[in-house]
Amino acid sequence: MGNAQSPPSDPLFLSASRSFTQKELEDLNSLFRSLAEQSGSGGKFITLPVFQAYFSVLGPLGSRLFHLVTQKRNDQQLTFEDLIIAKGTYEKGSREEVEEFINQLVDVNGDGILDRSDLEVVLKSTLEAVFTPKAAEAVNNLDYSIIEVFLHAAKFSKEGSSMSYEDFKNWCNLIPSVRKFLGNLLLPLDPGSGGCHLPQLLCPEDFSPDLLVLRKEYAWHISGALSQKETEEWRLLYHSSVHGLSFNTFLGNLQNAEGPTIMLIKDKEGFIYGGYASLPWERHSDFYGDMKSFLFSLYPHAAIFRPTGSNGNLQWCAVNFTSESIPNGLGFGGRANHFGLFISASFDHGHTFTCSTFDNPCLSKQDKIYPEIIECWGVMEKGGEQEKFDSVKGTILERFKEDRNMLNMVGLANASE
């Protein structure tokens, strides 16, 4: 199998081979022969240009990946044994082996020091691979600001402003989309693969995309913390520039949203942040939700803040309560009147505090926030029942139920109950 004329004796190859089924080995052998043929090597090895073109990882990151896969030989010849050993480690290895491979990969300069320049190369290559050629051109010309946004989350604790192994792991936790991409590089690149999948953003036909807060880069960042099925389609349900800064309109637009939602806020300081609500926004007098919810920041720095498990104060939706201990509005984390993120029912102010629920910092320039734009997206699974967002119920009974649900939401139905 492969380019060898006699059974390989490399113990790494023999060990890696045992990680694959016979069918998988045959498929990898077919892949190798095809790429070796394109390389003009007589079926013996794969060259760097063919490798980079097939896996769609160009530039210094692609060269570094090729160098690691060829076991750092510098002969520019990727053999079948190299491919099996690399895939055996990268796809079938233990978590520690995979993390070590990725840690070596992002040391693009190969000098044993992971610094800011390495991360810049990684981010530039990542964005160019994930987005369309047109978007990649934007990165080259006008979009370096988005690279800075992702770099803001990085900490360089070692002498000489370099990253420790723990620094890099922590950065990947805050920017999971980058880690997901790096973990899928040896798979053929396609729009549906885990490392570069982008949700389809669905807006009304008469809606101007220029109004959107959620850019594709931000959507990719948020989707890094979600499963594949949660990144298929996101539908715009509410936008304050169109619907006004109205709590009741927000709830009304979301009354049929049975799945998760993504709320974004751009405040008057220019900061952009928000929260992923795993459960529908429903009237409660206390916290609710599950551990799938999280907070995120998008600008001027990007990060994902997942639940720590310290408490269950995840999601808050209070409507028409008269007690000061139950503030009306939407919130995530923290405690009543001291949330990780909160928007009052007036929709014209709120606050953001550090909280143990998500271990997040203040998400804006100051803890008091004044929204300029509020935007909300419904997370839809293809083929699911959520297509009914645009449908109108046909029967009188269904319309009655719909109206009653809205009254229940704002606390007006059956006040005696």
Query: Are 211 and 166 within one domain?
Result: no
Query: Are 166 and 248 within one domain?
Result: no
Query: Are 204 and 307 within one domain?
Result: yes
Query: Are 99 and 213 within one domain?
Result: no
Query: Are 228 and 258 within one domain?
Result: yes
Residue 409 lies in a domain: no
Among candidate residues 377, 315, 321, the one with its CA nearest the CA of residue 343: 315
Q: Which residues contact 287 (CB under 8 A, 6 or more apart)?
A: 312, 313, 314, 315, 316
Residue 94 lies in a domain: yes
The domain total for the chain is 2
Q: What is the 3-state secondary structure (H, E, C) of 217-259?
A: HHHHHHHCCCCHHHHCEEEEEEEHHHHCCCHHHHHHHCCCCCC
Residue 406 lies in a domain: no
Host domain of residue 83: 11-182
Residue 5 lies in a domain: no
Query: Are 159 and 21 within one domain?
Result: yes
CATH number at residue 176: 1.10.238.10
| Confidence (pLDDT) at 413 | 42
Residue 402 lies in a domain: no
CB-CB contact of 93 with 106 (8 Å): no
Query: Are 158 and 242 within one domain?
Result: no
Residue 397 lies in a domain: no
Count of C-beta atoms within a 10 Å radius of residue 373: 17
What is the C-alpha separation between 131 and 149, in angstroms, rounded?
Answer: 17
Query: Are 233 and 376 within one domain?
Result: yes
Query: Are 256 and 364 within one domain?
Result: yes
Query: Are 162 and 133 within one domain?
Result: yes
Domain boundary residue among 128, 154, 182?
182
Query: Are 171 and 293 within one domain?
Result: no
Tell me the backbone φ, ψ of residue 338, rounded to 5 degrees. -150, 65
CB-CB contact of 376 with 382 (8 Å): no
**Identity of the residue numbered 176:** P
Residue 1 lies in a domain: no
Query: Are 217 and 144 within one domain?
Result: no
Domain boundary residue among 182, 209, 238?
182
**Both tokens of residue 338?**
């001291």
- Each residue's pLDDT expressed in tens, for the chain with a length of 417 residues: 444 444 556 899 999 999 999 999 999 999 999 999 999 999 999 999 999 989 888 889 999 999 999 999 999 999 999 999 999 998 888 888 999 999 999 999 999 999 999 999 999 988 888 875 444 444 454 466 889 999 999 999 877 689 998 999 999 999 999 999 998 888 765 545 555 678 999 999 899 999 999 999 999 999 999 998 999 999 999 999 999 999 999 999 998 888 999 999 999 999 999 999 999 999 999 999 999 999 999 999 999 999 999 999 999 999 999 999 999 999 999 999 999 999 999 999 999 999 999 999 999 999 999 999 999 999 997 655 444 444 333 333 443 344 444 444 444 443 333
Residue 365 lies in a domain: yes
CB-CB contact of 63 with 36 (8 Å): no
Domain boundary residue among 153, 182, 211?
182
